[in-house]
Amino acid sequence: SKPYIFDRVFQSNTSQEQVYNDCAKKIVKDVLEGYNGTIFAYGQTSSGKTHTMEGKLHDPDGMGIIPRIVQDIFNYIYSMDENLEFHIKVSYFEIYLDKIRDLLDVSKTNLSVHEDKNRVPYVKGCTERFVCSPEEVMDTIDEGKSNRHVAVTNMNEHSSRSHSIFLINVKQENTQTEQKLSGKLYLVDLAGSEKVSKTGAEGAVLDEAKNINKSLSALGNVISALAESSTYVPYRDSKMTRILQDSLGGNCRTTIVICCSPSSYNESETKSTLLFGQRAKTIKNTVCVNVELTAEQWKKKYEKEKEKNKTLRNTIQWLENELNRWRNGETVPVDEQFDKEKANLEAFTVDKDITVINDKPAATIGVTGNFTDTERRKCEEEIAKLYKQLDDKDEEINQQSQLVEKLKTQMLDQEELLASTRRDQDNLQAELNRLQAENDASKEEVKEVLQALEELAVNYDQKSQEVEDKAKEYELLSDELNQKSVTLASIDAELQKLKEMTNHQKKRATEMMASLLKDLAEIGIAVGNNDVKQPEGTGMIDEEFTVARLYISKMKSEVKTMVKRCKQLEGTQAESNKKMEENEKELAACQLRISQHEAKIKSLTEYLQNVEQKKRQLEESVDSLNEELVQLRAQ
């Protein structure tokens, strides 16, 4: 419900051209007439400052104040008298983390602020480019804009992280009258104030937000001090306010564009922005034309100042005489008393055809009148000396700031190195712990391998004993088989002999039987008895045959038994050979496993030695790192 008064209020649907015509168009003419001008946009982040100042640089409808001013400056120049000669220089720099950084030469990252002979602050060492056309200016803007710091926040996808200042310096000379005018135009795009809780800034973006809010706070303090007519204005609290010192309460026509967010979410920031604009509106700047006088004009000014000095001396003489009369007790008539208004009118009549740059007044007229020329010169020399000391102190402060920044950088590097060393130490400690764990695991594995080897050795001994037992059993069976084979051979020989004897006996018996039968037949024939009876001797032969058969059958059964026994012995021998081969294979496998385990034990022993050596190296490295850490902490 609180009212705020401004020169003009624009709706959100206002065109860029209308904003330019109402806010900036008049300043172009003022700059070409020799005045200084400043235009800057103020407001919270994402409220439209960059859109207002720059817009879409190469879009005829969407371009902002800066490109339109550039075009208008050259349009005015083209339409002015031919006897006017113009020199236009542009500079483009940003204030990032309270450091002045040249956007046209990125190698210049920490420029300093100095004052010229008229006590006007300027950026020393900033790149200045002469331009002859709007296209050259736009190319310069594009080059600088590409080097400007931007970032993404929760409230703005292309948030400006620095205050940018585009300076146009126009100097003109009348070739006929030799009159020289100069005007400076500061086009400022401020970074927006931020609430970290809303933007979600972190890390480097958070540091940028802190510096942005700090410089904007310094700007607010300057505006408040000027609005309250304070005797001290804190221009030096920030480099931005130092550069804009002439724009805020000095010789400059300044236009401030207050950018507000229409969202109720940003109500508190909008109120703060409106209050800033309300205070800034109460500031009154004293402006005058920046003109370089010709020799004739300087001569006239000298004569005029000489006349003014003579008048002041007469006034001083008059006042001293009047004072002496009063001290002597005389009464000075009214018509003989000093007329202050008349004296002021005579003493301070100025030639209105000549306009000069207003330096800051050093003293009042009354005090000036009591100074002699020598004292005045001494005062001026003292003032010049003090200003020089101030510049030297500024330079020293800048050097100290650079040294502090360098030391901060070195400190950050050392902290980073220390953190890196600590991380390396932690990694080495973790590696050492891992190696110790692996060493312990290897020891456990070696123990298990040794235990397995012991078990294998025991099994090997058992298997070796079994093999020896089987070998002995095989030898016994072989001996027994050989004995049985010898016995079988002897039995076969005896059997063969018996067969031969039996055959011989049968043959003899047959012959004898045949002979006997023949004899019997012959006897039967002889006695006439055709029945030939078998002699009793035949039964004995049959009995012998029967006995022989029985004996032979017995021998056959014994032979079969021996053959069966031999086959059994051969089967047993085959099984023994098979078991022996299996035992030999198992023995070979055991020997292979033993050799493998011996090789593994050897490799594990070597690995254990390497681990112990690496452990000692790591311990030595940790000791050296601890010593370096102690040295770094000592530094």
Annotated binding-site ranges for ATP: 43-50
Give the annotated binding-site residues: 43-50
Q: In 501-521, which positions are buried (b, 16+ CB within 10 angstroms) versus exposed (e)?
A: ebeebeeebeeebeebbeebe
Q: Which residues contact 624 (CB under 8 A, 6 or more apart)?
A: none
Task: Give the type of residue at 199.
Answer: T
* Helix (H) and strand (E) counts in the chain: 14, 12
Instruction: Compute the distance between CA of residue 192 and CA of residue 194 in angstroms, rounded to an integer.
Output: 6
CB atoms within 10 A of CB 486: 10
Task: Name the token pair of 431.
Answer: 């590696």
Instruction: Compute the distance between CA of residue 26 and CA of residue 512 in angstroms, rounded to an integer.
Output: 175
SS3 of residue 484 by DSSP = helix
Instruction: Compute the distance between CA of residue 212 and CA of residue 191 in angstroms, rounded to an integer.
Output: 7
Instruction: Compute the distance between CA of residue 550 and CA of residue 505 in angstroms, rounded to an integer.
Output: 16
Q: Which residues contact 588 (CB under 8 A, 6 or more apart)?
A: none
Hunting for tokens 């030799």 — which residue is that?
Answer: 178
Measure the CA angle with vertex 446, ends 445 and 452; round to 5°: 90
Q: With contact defined as beta carbons under 8 Å apart, do 463 and 587 qualify? A: yes
Q: With contact defined as beta carbons under 8 Å apart, do 453 and 597 qualify? A: yes
Half-sphere exposure of 337 (CA within 13 A, CB side): 9
Length of the chain: 635
DSSP structure string for 360-425:
PP-S-HHHHHT--HHHHHHHHHHHHHHHHHHHHHHHHHHHHHHHHHHHHHHHHHHHHHHHHHHHHH
**Strand 291-292 relative to strand 84-96, pairing:** unpaired
